[in-house]
Chain A
């Protein structure tokens, strides 16, 4: 019962045609529908629900909202009670508020990010079907991403004023939504400040990440690949298509991911990564990265600061 996994992310884009082309031809998703407002919906080939990405036309970049899927419809009522008892207001959005999607419980994370929970989304099946399925479909484009894996959100952190919405989100996700902390970065005197937190509900190292910053935003939306070879190929695709690569193929210490980062045509950061890292379990000891090694956690090979990676986001 409760939250199962990330369901979709809604990204704001300033040029819809360019955005659709990017997510189809670079990330390798497939457009599944378009609504009356002109928003476009896409899915990855190994996902079975109708969409995992909503592209929303806007005059700014960034994340509109992120949604996680719960197992049973009744979970929404239970979670509504729990979230409200925690002191956070919620709103139940009627079925059809998003196409092909059931009712959604909407609320704001302590960091201010708009979050939704839902139980129903139209199941259209994976690209290889469910009867004697092939391991991969023909005709994949670009990186050929398998699924939307997680989002990393920049959350306001200002030790000077005592504001730390990384820690606030971590507490809320743990106590209300049943997430577990997999890894964290502790900084400041005595490591008293939780500056980054990676949390999971599934069995992989993260289903959401919170990163401290001056203002809230989205650091990246991440898509899963099978192997290091596919990460390299994804970077080749980006170079061929003149997509701005933010961080060339490398490894994270945190989560052990093998990764490449890039920007969509509105400047929203994307990641394609491989490697499920380890089996994430509620009783697994939390991995802690200390301030002097936090960059090693982010860029395992160099271990050195790359400020643009943390300072540039939408």
Chain B
């Protein structure tokens, strides 16, 4: 994954990002998204999806601090009400200062039908299925 062409992270202020669930901490430039900043240095914690605001897997809640929205987010995944409460997609927000985020997207789709991955990982048996609700 590459930073956006107009973003040169090294020349800009960096802010501390903490992922509440995992305790993971990384530094993210104010000109890259929380997801780009995380993935660029090989960190994990927030699920990485389409990177463009459409699929919703990187949905987070900003628990502490402020972020800046840098592009459109799918309303199928973040409602206006949620957005007002600090829910957003990590691929579409850049940090304005230190932030703490809750992962709420959490690859819900990952927990559902695996197209055979269940068998590949654990031998024979029924496919792995879990009831989930689309957020």
Contact = CB atoms under 8 A, between A and B. Distances in A.
A31 B49 CA distance: 28
Contact of B113 (A212, A267, A293, A312): A212
B88 to A, nearest CB: 14
B110 A311 contact: yes
A134 interface: no
A244 interface: yes
B114 interface: yes
Given A15-B72, A160-B129, A160-B131, A242 B113 contact: no
A305 B74 contact: no
Contacts of B125: 189
Interface residues of B, number: 41
A211 B116 CA distance: 12
A193 B118 CA distance: 14
A308 B125 CA distance: 23
Contacts of A307: 107, 110, 114, 117
Nearest to B110: A311
Interface residues of A, number: 48
B80 to A, nearest CB: 10
B71 interface: yes
B10 interface: no
Contact of A59 (B74, B112, B117): B74
Given A265-B52, A266-B53, A269-B50, A292 B116 contact: yes
B109 interface: yes
B64 interface: no
B55 interface: yes
Contact of A263 (B54, B108, B116): B54
A246 B126 CA distance: 29
B116 A295 contact: yes
A21 interface: no
B42 interface: no
A312 B132 contact: no
11 contacts: A61-B52, A157-B113, A158-B113, A160-B131, A189-B125, A214-B113, A264-B52, A266-B72, A267-B51, A291-B119, A308-B47
